[in-house]
Structure 1
Amino acid sequence: MTGRTPFSELRARMSPASQARATAKSGLLEQEMALAELRRAMKLSQEEIAAALNINQASVARMEKRTDMYIGTLRRFVQAMGGELDIIARFPDRQIRIDQFRDLAAPEG
């Protein structure tokens, strides 16, 4: 015996309440990721992102470590992964999409 238990078996042993908490926590983790985690989840390499952005791999590595960047830079990074960036302001009673940055997505020309 290897001493390993399949996750499906471990999950089946959990109480329904524990399973619900684990599912909720998993959902939150999927909603919150750093750029590097998101890129890896999308199964993309830094080299692939660099090629899409026409920059070098070291620049992608630096971007992934930044805690502050221009919205246009973040938008291009997300687009290079095949995504779309939305800016949402959350208030206790509603959510508002900020649209003043939509022109940043338009191609230059």
Structure 2
Amino acid sequence: MPLRELRQAMALTQQDLADRLQVNQPAVAKLEQRADMYISSLRSYIESIGGQLRIVASFPAGDVAITNFSSVEQSEPPT
């Protein structure tokens, strides 16, 4: 699902999202049109609409969650 449609499904305007991300509305419009972006930008976008970004690689033998892109705040301390 495109980011724009995801935002709309959450009943948010670009301005609503811009306020949450602390950017201007044109920055949100540009982000929604990009085919390539930083994972951190995508994570911020998803989290600002109430979601959690998970990256999963699919292989014939099964799916594997990629965890080295987790944000520092979400990481558990080493034991």
Q: Which structure has the highest helix share of the two?
A: 1
Q: Deviations over 1:47-100 (max 9, x none)?
A: 111001000000000000000000000000000100000000000111000000
Distance 2:51 2:42 in 1: 11
Structure 1, unaligned runs of 5 or more = 1-32
Structure 2, unaligned runs of 5 or more = 75-79
Distance 2:51 2:72 in 1: 12
- Contact kept? 1:50, 1:56, Cα under 8 Å: yes
Q: 1:101 aligns with which of 62, 65, 69?
A: 69
Find the residue that maps to 1:101 and give its secondary structure: coil
Superposed CA RMSD in Å reads: 1.2
| Count of residues in correspondence between the two structures | 74
The answer for the alignment partner of 2:9 in structure 1 is: 41
Distance 2:72 2:11 in 1: 24
Normalising by the residue count of structure 1, what TM-score does the alignment of the two structures yield?
Answer: 0.65
Structure with more contact order per residue of length (Cα contacts < 8 Å, sep ≥ 6)? 2
Distance 1:78 1:65 in 2: 15
| Identical-residue share of aligned pairs (%) | 43
Indicate the structure (1 or 2) with the bigger Cα radius of gyration. 1
Q: Offset at 1:106?
A: 2.0
Moved over 3 A (4+): none
Q: 2:27 aligns with which of 34, 56, 59?
A: 59
